[in-house]
Amino acid sequence: MSLSLTVSRRRAAAAALTAALLVPLSACSSDDTKKDNGGSKPSASASSTSQVNLTVLAAASLTDVFKTAGAAYEKSHPGTKLTFSFAGSQELVAQVSQGSPADVLVTADTKSMDKVKADTSAPVIIARNRLVIATGEGNPHKVGTLKDLADTKLKVVLAAPEVPAGKYSKQILDKQKVVVKPVSQEPNVRAVLSKVELGEADAGLVYKTDADSAKDKVDAVEIPDDQNAIAKYPAATLKDSKNAQAAAAFVAWLSSPEGQKILQDAGFQKP
């Protein structure tokens, strides 16, 4: 057998062996590519590094408790980042109507939520609240009842009529036939609280949870149940959310034992 023929056969055998080894590697590469490019099982590294950013539009009276709730939620749901935007419910509804990008809406009354029902999923009540009379620390003017707010010597501040807290305030004052001439009407309940805290008002109607958040600066005068109004807080996902599944998970969590404990520890009542 000639030397050239021997060399040719060796080269042919080597080529065949190389081809045989490359076939399974190529197949594995093809399967992995399919998984990475839309297959049902994405790689662990891809899923672990993804992050969902949720924007939550929430009533101003939820400011403190939602900051606490948000921190707890992010801790138990790594990969989800919550950004809150707090304002009067009427302002939040206007933002939704104007198409502002967001994922979740939580208002301080059902009527506000109803105005954007075409833009939201079915809302769920996550908490309730009640009004109190906030006064300066030590209650220097000895305010004891709703009727005391009619005293023209008192500087009383209320939430504006279009704000849920303002609607509830008008409701209970009208029921008791108490006429109040407020020195100002504020765009949200936290602004009412601030006026009392700063001494710019002698008294104001706020939610119990607002007064509780400023115990070192204001006193809270309880209003009897038969003279009070109960505020309901509905939460819903927005239909235009780009993170619908994550948004629905957060809304559901607000009704979970963990979410409810945080809300009730802050003074909110059970749904």
What is the domain-level CATH number for residue 105?
3.40.190.10
- Judge if 224 and 139 occupy the same domain: yes
Q: Do residues 110 and 181 both lie within one domain?
A: no
- Residues of the chain under the 50 pLDDT cut: 1-48
Looking at the structure, tell me whether residues 122 and 253 fall in a common domain: yes
Which phi-psi region, left, alpha or beta, contains residue 169 (left: φ > 0; alpha: ψ -120 to 50)?
A: alpha
Burial of residue 207 (number of CB atoms within 10 Å: 0-12, 13-18, 19+)? buried
pLDDT at 251: 98
Residue 82 lies in a domain: yes
| Shared domain check, 150 and 98 | no
> 256 and 187 in one domain?
no
C-alpha–C-alpha distance, residues 231 and 88, integer Å = 14
Q: Name the one residue in this structure whose structure tokens are 């950004």.
A: 83
The pLDDT of residue 181 is: 95
Residues 81 and 210 grouped into a single domain: no
Angle at the Cα of 211 from the Cα atoms of 207 and 216, rounded to 5 degrees: 175
Residues 83 and 159 in one domain: no
Total-model pTM: 0.80
Q: Does 4 fall in a domain?
A: no
Q: Which domain holds residue 168?
A: 129-230
Residue 3 within a domain = no
User: Cα(109)–Cα(107) distance, rounded to whole angstroms?
Assistant: 6
Closest CA to 96 of 116, 122, 112: 116
Residue 29 lies in a domain: no
How many structural domains comprise the chain?
Answer: 2
* Whether residue 104 sits in one domain with residue 150: no
Cα torsion through 74, 77, 78, 82, rounded to 10: -40
84 & 198 share domain = no
